[in-house]
Structure 1
């Protein structure tokens, strides 16, 4: 009989965390999982269509 253990994170483990803590708009992880919390804010560049960007973000 053969026994095998793996203590590394697998893609299945990561996917479960995403499914539990995420929705259609974002992924919010608890502090024990993500020690550093980040918020990404889009800053338009020069001649970017600001109204289109804002509408896309609010949808």
Structure 2
């Protein structure tokens, strides 16, 4: 029972940290690219894709 509670606690903490990272607001940092480039090229900005977690629980 104690192991199960510790596993649930660890999973909850990991899920919370992942959610805070995955859904964080993007920062407005410069991309160090020339200003005369066409507008249809990618700017290498991160997309806020949720991160998938796979965690095995041993009971």
* TM-score of the superposed pair, with normalisation by structure 2: 0.26
- Which structure ranks higher in relative contact order (CA pairs < 8 Å, sequence separation ≥ 6)? 2
* TM-score of the superposed pair, with normalisation by structure 1: 0.26
